[in-house]
Amino acid sequence: MKEIKRRRSLSHWTNGWLRSLAFVAAFSALTAAAACGGDSPSAPATPTPSKTPDGSYNISTVNGKVLPVAIFADTNYTYEVMSGSLVLTTDGKYSIMTKFRQTIPGNVSIFPDSTGGTWVLSGTSITFTNSDDESTDTATWANNQLTFTETDGKATTTYVYSRK
């Protein structure tokens, strides 16, 4: 019985020693590779698009223009998008926060607007369902960007949200 314990102890010590040796060898190889980078510059790592849309996004453009952007302007009235963010969670929920500026002669008002609900991905299309009124909206998801195209009467507004 004592011999069995001894073999087990020796085996345990040998396995531990081999793991330590493997760690030292791997660390040495990584250190040597980093030190032998050579004189040629290396290209920065190219980010790969995420396979799932969950995450945080900011409005990058409205109708192809950077913020702030007037989405309606008349002689005595201007309505602008100042900023916006969108968060998609892994459990299928979303929240959107957008800040607008409204200008009329002698008065400038800035106000936030927010909404939330659930989202479902189907291919490259995401359907958003508002939790307040069950209305739906759709965005296209590609290259870590969400693109919403909103049509109100004759006016079409395109919002592009880019992943943070």
141 shares a domain with 69: yes
Structural domain of 106:
55-163
User: Is 70 among the domain residues?
Assistant: yes
**40 located within any domain:** no
| Assigned domain for 39 exists | no
Q: Tell me: do 18 and 89 sit in the same domain.
A: no
Hey, what long-range contacts does 128-131 have (CB within 8 A, 24 or more apart)? Answer: 128/94
Residues 2, 78, single domain; the answer is no
In this prediction, residue 96 carries a pLDDT of: 97
Domain count, the chain: 2
pLDDT for res 17: 34
Residue 142 pLDDT: 96
Q: Are residues 64 and 132 in the same domain?
A: yes
H or E stretch covering 80: strand 77-88
Rounded CA-CA distance 32/25 in Å is 10
Each of the 164 residues of the chain gets a pLDDT tens digit; together they read: 444 444 433 333 333 433 333 333 333 333 344 444 445 455 555 445 678 999 999 999 999 999 999 999 999 999 999 999 999 999 999 999 999 999 999 999 999 999 999 999 999 999 999 999 999 999 999 999 999 999 988 889 999 999 99
Q: Which residue has the tokens 């004759």?
A: 154
pLDDT of residue 11: 37
What are the Cα distances from residue 101, in Å, to 46, 127, 155? 37, 27, 19
- Mark whether 27 and 79 lie in a shared domain: no
59 C-beta neighbours (distance < 10 Å), count:
23
Nearest to 89 by CA among 54, 63, 41: 54
Whole-number pLDDT of residue 114 = 97
Report the pLDDT value the prediction gives residue 51, as an integer from 0 to 100: 86
Q: Which two tokens stand for residue 66?
A: 């950077």
